[in-house]
Structure 1
Amino acid sequence: MIRTLSAALLLTALLVAPALATREPTVPPVYYLIDYGPNHLDNPDYITWIAELPPQLLHFGKDVPMTHLYGPIQAVGGENQAHGRNREDTRRLTGAEVAERIATLQRMNQALHAAGARMVMPYTSAITFAGNPDTREGLFDFIDHWDEYAQFGLGAKPQSDPAEWIALRADGSRHTFGKEEKPAYYAGLDRYVAAITHPDWRNWLMDVHRLVAEAGYDGAFPDNTSAINDYSSQAQAAFRAYLSQRFAAGQMRQLLGVESVDDIELPRERGGIAWVEAQRFWRVTLAEHVEAMRAGGREANPDFLLFPNLGGPTHIAEYLSGHADYYMAEGGAGLEGAGCSVTRVIGNVYHSEIHDNILDYVYGRDIPGDIRPMLLKLGRTNESKKLCLAEPAAFGSGAYNGVRPNSRDIQAPYIRFLLDHPDIYAGKTSTARVAMTFFPMRDFYSIEGVNANHTQAARRVFQRLGELQIPCDLFSETGLEPGALSTYDFLILPDMAFFSDEHLQVVHEFVEGGGMAIIVGEFATHDELMQPRAALDWLPQTEATGQFGRGTVLHTSVMPTQTELLAMLTTGSDRQGGDTRLVVAPGRATRPLMRSSCYADDAEVVVHLLNYDIPIEPGPRKPKSQTDVHVRAPLPAGASVARVTCLAPEMEPFSPQYEVRDGACWFTVPEVPIYMVCRMELQG
């Protein structure tokens, strides 16, 4: 029996989400250090090094009592690919050795906390284990000797063999993590992907995390927390239970063409609502699995935290709200880091293309609930590594980009700046007047072979808004709730062909109350279950504008250019009038190599300026400061400004001259090398 919540309860929690986080007060960034090195245990030199600049979140490798992969083994440290090349590393520890390992880890964690580390978390994994069922090596060996470890509270021996825990592909073959089941770095052992719905695997991971907590850790980092398309018998049964809770019998007949839930199997091909619901199911059960791992830790420590690695997070993070505390995003297409790639055109002429992680941070910040994104995407130049810390501070809430031991000294001025100025980042709310829907699950929608284009269109709009220096908050599928749009003037809806009745009502009320909806491409032609919808009587034809209540609906069939987008966001009714930009570039519409954000509380308005003319990779092109940056900071109605102060990690503070007019504070920043914070103290 699985010691955790049911998928049905988790689905209910997702569909009845908490209030939108967009206008919730921010929290300061969390200094996150990742160190997979092997020399942490009983090492006073390491404790001294940590104390020099103690992280708020310290993330280790497999320095644990029992690994998810093999059970209790000799080696410590490393991530999922470690401890296979040398077979001696995987020697199973005796019960006495495990007890000594726990005592050693407890001493280490006590010393780390005394040195100033606030949270310490080791590496685990949500879905992988290793061994050989024929030779009974790896986890199979540990299961065979399960009863020898009763003193560690493991409970009854699993009723099934680990060979039965393996996730299956649609064709019935076993899933692999990567291309091979027997990768070279496992020295002849197999690496398996587990079926997260299997009760024995789930219970084993709960024990792994309970022991992590007993060793004195504050939480754990389960890697590979991915939504695997699993077709095992456990997953099939769980899918039928999920649908029974999701739909009445009549709905299943209409949507899925079956008379009984017993006739349903997980779909094997993309297309239709069955594929969408399967993707939701795999994510709901992943959230259940994450909840179980955290619950295991909380059996020993009620405050135990979980920090799963989601890889590409946008299709998963929303489902984990309330079940995890942080999440990692890493990898993806293109260059990692922040700044620009530089391509030589001819002679001394170069083309710069910006690379940023802003949407990842804003999406994570705006998900309902208390979950924070941590990225692991550092550039290769020193300046890019510094910019990578400015991004989460300027666009996230409680977020960070992982610092490595070999980059800590380079990034130290930025680490200390963020630690020394928590008041800049605490208790502020976004001042954005523009909001946009961003529903990542729409990537799985398709009709007659045509895939939904929503997320691609949303990313293009977001990029153009960034170049225009227009802040934009993002509304997720669970965040677009009644009343959530009341403090915004504009709502952009990019290619939202599939839209629920509830979401449609939110937009209807927003426009009727005086807001402007900018609709790009198709809109609400189907509901979220892919059922066709009759034409909306208040929606104008494409390339037209219509009035509805006190508001406006603008409908365009094609992606607006930057000039067109700027015009849309600076004209309209009295409610929408005025400039929405934070940086106004005389003589040009954009500053394409800058990005900006703005937050406020009752005491001050804070503008963040980031320079992306920073090469990510080493090369002939050098970083170039942004100069003569003309800032237009929005002010609360009736407010005046006592003073303006500009700060940067590697510059002396200064106070520029400023002017208050047209509901904003105007001033010029002479130079932005990488990151600048401008604070406007309010009075009146």
Structure 2
Amino acid sequence: MASMLIKAAGAVVALFIVVTAIMALLNMCPPSGPWPMPPWCSPSSGVILQQATQQATNTTANAPTLQSLSDVDKSYGFNYLSKEDIDDFFSKPAFFITWTNDRSVLTRLGDVDVLWRVEWFKHGKLSDIGERMAFYHKNGIHYVGAQLVSSSQNDREGPILDKSMATISLDGEPIEYVKPGMAAFSKQYWMNILSPKWQSLLFNMSKQLIDAGVEGIVFDEPQFNAGVIDHGGTFDNYSMEGFREYLAERFSSSELSTYFNISDVGSFNFADYIKNNNLEDKWNKKPYIPITREFYKFEINAGASVMEELARSIKDYGKRAGHYILFYENAGVDYSSLTQRNREADALVNEMFYFMGDGPSQKISTIAKLAEPMFKHYIFLAEVSNDKGEVPKQTKNLFKYIFADAYSSKASIITDGDGFMSMHNWNYDKERISYDVDEASKYIRFAQNNSKLFSLHEPADVAVVSSYPSRMLYENLLLPTSGYRWEGGNLKGTIEALVDNEVPFHVLQSGDGYMFNDKLTEEALSNYSLVILPSVIAISEEELSNLHSYIEKGGKAIVIGNFAMYDERGTPLTSNPFSSIKEGENSIGKGTLYLVSSPIMQNYHYNTATWKIRGPREKSEELASPLMKIVNRYYESPISSDAPNTVNIRRYVDGNNIVLHIVNYDFDQVRDSFKPSKQFTITTEGAFSKATLYQFDGATIKQLSTSINGNATTVTIPPLLAYDIVVLEP
């Protein structure tokens, strides 16, 4: 009898092991009950998010069901994107809209998908979107990104006012969410990304969207709690405890005492520190005092860590539903405060404000270059400012200008239906600026019918260093002298001048060892004959040593503006192998370093008389010459042209072929008109006997004659309206 019981027990154990193995293989989860859930059913490995999801209430009960949508998919042959589809999907080239009242726009434009659409909730529950999802799937449209906000609720009627989810002022009160042009998000708290309850609500809203058939989540406002510092917060317990741990990890006891007058970090509380030192009126005024600088960095880093855990949980949930879920953050690389690298992110998305006087760079090529070291795919929501003159409400050529700017730079566009959101001085207008859908369709379809011409490699022998800790110091006014701020334009001006003068280059990122671990290694530097360092005021001693070795072995470097004053943490450098360099050319071993201590290229990005950002038509060869004269001493570009400064030429390669993307930036947004360029020539390295011209206006393809002289080929380009591509073949 005993032996029979043992055998029966063994059989049960064996059956349990087999069933468990099958469930693990198929990612199946048992129903909830008193038994423990297997590890693959856990929402996240992150402790904070695990606690948050355990506290979650069931808000998915009223979410639209996938059953009816599944029937639509079967009838119309709709297939969700897999992870393996993503690269091809974004490279087709992709085009997106947020929303439209006229659904015919979606089908008239071409192969268009939906991204960055705001879905509204009430008391945490999603409105029914089932009918719209069925329309998308019937027409082969992928809804690859519904928008949620990391700091506010998408709820116009009944936001949840729970103090435990809010950011907290120095007086212990919840902080109200206030943002110009965002009236729909008013009358609610500025949410605290470190609050487990808020994390739980974000996760549950994401689940509802996935259950409804959405294939991606895009999070807006990813500056997290750092964005509320200027509004007086946040002094919640999660921030106070986390900041104390951050300081203990980043600084020794002697450094804490020297830099911040903190004698015992174990009992440190930032709110008490402010009150005890009578800093209530100055702790969050710019330029920040040293302790606030660190608090800012802590909040950025802590929020980014939580968002990465959240992304992982969202993807895990989608996987259990049988779908790959894309994840994005609206991280504006033009402002280092908003730049995070989320290892779970599939692409970078951000907003581009065209024709703005005080805002981002006015060409997407600048921002795309800054994003280059971080993300393979870059997508932006195109918006239009009236700061430099009133743009017509009905336009025909504006779309062409923005399209050419984007797709020549390997970026993709999101538009607000058949128009662009517009603004005056950072305040959104009620009326959008519309574009001609039929004209836009011609550009989109022509590009997608010739997809092989896009998302190509751009070889380069020049590198520009983008220093994350330097940008944090400059652009967020974290330096003790606010005048340093404008040196941030030196980097962007350098990038813009190189693009405008047909110099192919790559961007190397120098990290802070905390948020970004990127380093200037000797191996990475050795891939380039010339390295340009614009306003690299903060850099690690290790990277300085690597740069010195690179130059000693024959490399060439150009340093523009303040250089190597601080280490990667923003504290003064104690060791610098370049401390004795002088203005101008310096020989170091077999190589050369050329120093210009003034930030000469900030005047190319800004008009330094007004500190307004220059548009493409406000720049000239003369403004670029301070940099280009030095670059031309050490480097000869593989491409040259007699085209005007407002024509940009990007040189990509496709096997043995050269693919030239040619864009005319001589565009008057007030008149919605281009000034077509006259005929010009382009000369490139290599012998090419065949040249094919792809003209977006007219959607025509024609052959051009070439002239070969030794190892150089010249081709004559006919007058250019907006955007042409030329393919050179041997």
Tell me what 1:43 maps to.
none
Aligned to 2:398, which of 377, 384, 387? Answer: 384
Q: 1:36 to 1:169 in 2, by over 3 A?
A: farther
Q: 1:191 to 1:319 in 2, by over 3 A?
A: same
Under a length normalisation based on structure 1, what TM-score does the superposition of the two structures give?
A: 0.73
Which amino acid is 1:554 matched to? Y
For residues 9-408 of structure 1, the aligned pairs below 5 Å read 28=91, 30-37=93-100, 46=103, 50-53=106-109, 55-59=111-115, 61-63=117-119, 67=121, 70-72=123-125, 101=128, 105=130, 108-129=132-153, 138-140=158-160, 162-169=162-169, 174-178=174-178, 190-227=187-224, 228=227, 229=229, 230-233=233-236, 234-261=238-265, 262-265=267-270, 268-269=284-285, 270-271=287-288, 273-302=290-319, 303-310=324-331, 314-316=335-337, 318-330=339-351, 334-335=355-356, 355-364=362-371, 366-370=372-376, 372-378=378-384, 380=391, 381-397=395-411, 399-402=412-415, 404-406=417-419, 407=435, 408=437
User: Aligned equivalents of 2:662 and 2:331: distance in 1?
Assistant: 29
Q: 1:243 to 1:295 in 2, by over 3 A?
A: same
Tell me what 2:428 maps to.
none
Aligned to 1:509, which of 538, 549, 554? Answer: 549
Moved over 6 A (4+): 24-27
User: Aligned equivalents of 2:594 and 2:258: distance in 1?
Assistant: 34
- Alpha-carbon offset, residue 516 of structure 1: 1.6
Contact 1:33 1:405 in 2 (8 A): no
For residues 485-524 of structure 1, the aligned pairs below 5 Å read 485-524=525-564
* Structure 1 stretches lacking a partner, 5+ long: 9-23, 40-45, 77-100, 141-160, 339-353
Aligned to 2:722, which of 674, 679, 682? Answer: 674
Q: Does the residue aligned with 1:220 lie in a helix, a strand or coil? A: strand
1:286-332 deviation line (CA, Å, top 9, x unaligned): 32343244334324313211233346753255423324333432265
Q: Does the residue aligned with 1:606 lie in a helix, a strand or coil? A: strand
1:520-551 deviation line (CA, Å, top 9, x unaligned): 12211221233333574556644321122322
Tell me what 1:441 maps to.
472
User: Aligned equivalents of 2:336 and 2:270: distance in 1?
Assistant: 22
Which amino acid is 2:448 matched to? L
1:131-175 deviation line (CA, Å, top 9, x unaligned): 89xxxx8244xxxxxxxxxxxxxxxxxxxx712321135675543
Contact 1:337 1:384 in 2 (8 A): no
Tell me what 1:5 maps to.
46
Which amino acid is 1:32 matched to? F
Q: 1:247 to 1:535 in 2, by over 3 A?
A: closer
Share of identical aligned residues, percent? Answer: 16
- Alpha-carbon offset, residue 673 of structure 1: 1.1
1:45-76 deviation line (CA, Å, top 9, x unaligned): x4x65344454530364446xx2x63226xx5
Under a length normalisation based on structure 2, what TM-score does the superposition of the two structures give?
A: 0.69
Tell me what 1:530 maps to.
570
Is 1:420 equivalent to 2:449 in the alignment? yes
User: Aligned equivalents of 1:258 and 1:631: distance in 2?
Assistant: 62
Q: Does the residue aligned with 2:193 lie in a helix, a strand or coil? A: coil
- Alpha-carbon offset, residue 437 of structure 1: 2.7
- Alpha-carbon offset, residue 333 of structure 1: 8.6
Q: 1:184 to 1:632 in 2, by over 3 A?
A: closer
Tell me what 1:157 maps to.
none
Which amino acid is 1:123 matched to? Q
* Structure 2 stretches lacking a partner, 5+ long: 1-41, 50-86, 272-282, 386-390, 420-434, 512-517, 602-622
Which amino acid is 1:218 matched to? E
User: Aligned equivalents of 1:180 and 1:625: distance in 2?
Assistant: 38
- Alpha-carbon offset, residue 671 of structure 1: 1.8
- Alpha-carbon offset, residue 390 of structure 1: 1.8
1:11-35 deviation line (CA, Å, top 9, x unaligned): xxxxxxxxxxxxx999726533323
Tell me what 1:629 maps to.
680
User: Aligned equivalents of 2:530 and 2:171: distance in 1?
Assistant: 47
Aligned to 2:630, which of 539, 562, 568? Answer: 568
Point out which structure has higher relative CO (alpha carbons under 8 A, 6+ apart).
1
- Alpha-carbon offset, residue 623 of structure 1: 1.6
User: Aligned equivalents of 1:424 and 1:337: distance in 2?
Assistant: 34
User: Aligned equivalents of 2:171 and 2:353: distance in 1?
Assistant: 27
Q: Does the residue aligned with 2:447 lie in a helix, a strand or coil? A: helix
Q: Does the residue aligned with 2:570 lie in a helix, a strand or coil? A: coil
Tell me what 1:481 maps to.
520
Superposition RMSD in Å = 3.7
Is 1:597 equivalent to 2:603 in the alignment? no
Q: 1:226 to 1:271 in 2, by over 3 A?
A: closer
Aligned length: 569
Is 1:657 equivalent to 2:714 in the alignment? no
Hey, which of these two has a bigger chunk of helix by percent?
A: 2
Contact 2:166 2:192 in 1 (8 A): yes
Contact 2:370 2:466 in 1 (8 A): no
User: Aligned equivalents of 2:369 and 2:472: distance in 1?
Assistant: 17
- Alpha-carbon offset, residue 452 of structure 1: 4.9
- Alpha-carbon offset, residue 208 of structure 1: 0.7
Tell me what 1:606 maps to.
659
- Alpha-carbon offset, residue 613 of structure 1: 0.9
Which amino acid is 1:165 matched to? M
Q: 1:253 to 1:162 in 2, by over 3 A?
A: same
Contact 1:294 1:324 in 2 (8 A): yes
User: Aligned equivalents of 2:505 and 2:188: distance in 1?
Assistant: 43
